[in-house]
Amino acid sequence: AGQRILGCPDLGVDRQAESEVGRLIWAAYQESLSFTPEGACYATASGIAQNYRVRYLDRNAVTARLRERSQALLEERVANAQDTSQVYDENNEYRADVVMEVLAQAAQQALQEDAAYVELVVPVSLTYENGAWWVLPEEQLLAAISGGLAG
């Protein structure tokens, strides 16, 4: 996406999430991202612009619900365990595999049941430089494209 943005900023979209949960939420974010043009193009001091209605998954809302859901699911696992070794390790800490399973389950539930969306109007401005049209890297646009990872 950054190849036609003036200066080719790093949008962070090529970075791999470190966990299954991160990959799941990022994939849902990318799938939810939509741009719909609004109104006519208009002239600006640097070129032309077009307003777009942008809609995308509110990752912060999903993440907030993920914490609540994972805690409830862990408590449920403990209550339903026939033996503490099904949930706890030798140090009486939650087993890593149990935590990862619960987080993945909580993320899926949060995405299916708690998904909230952000919708806003973002101006997309173009400028003509060096024989080509370039998108100007405005903060609102970069944040929408990258899910807040640009930088």
pLDDT at residue number 102? 95
Alpha-carbon distance of 68 to 64, in angstroms, equals: 7
- What does the alpha-carbon distance between residue 57 and residue 34 come to, in Å, rounded to a whole number? 10
Say how many CA atoms lie within 13 Å of 22 toward its Cβ.
8
Q: Which residue has the tokens 């208009």?
A: 42
So what's the pLDDT on residue 151? 46
Bridging pattern class, strands 34-43 and 47-57: antiparallel
Q: How far apart are alpha carbons 135 and 5 in whole angstroms?
A: 5
pLDDT at residue number 124? 93
What is the mean pLDDT of each successive set of 10 residues along the chain, which is 151 residues long? 62 65 90 94 94 92 89 94 92 93 93 90 92 88 75 46
Q: What is the DSSP string of 128-144?
A: EETTEEEE---HHHHHH
pLDDT at site 10: 56
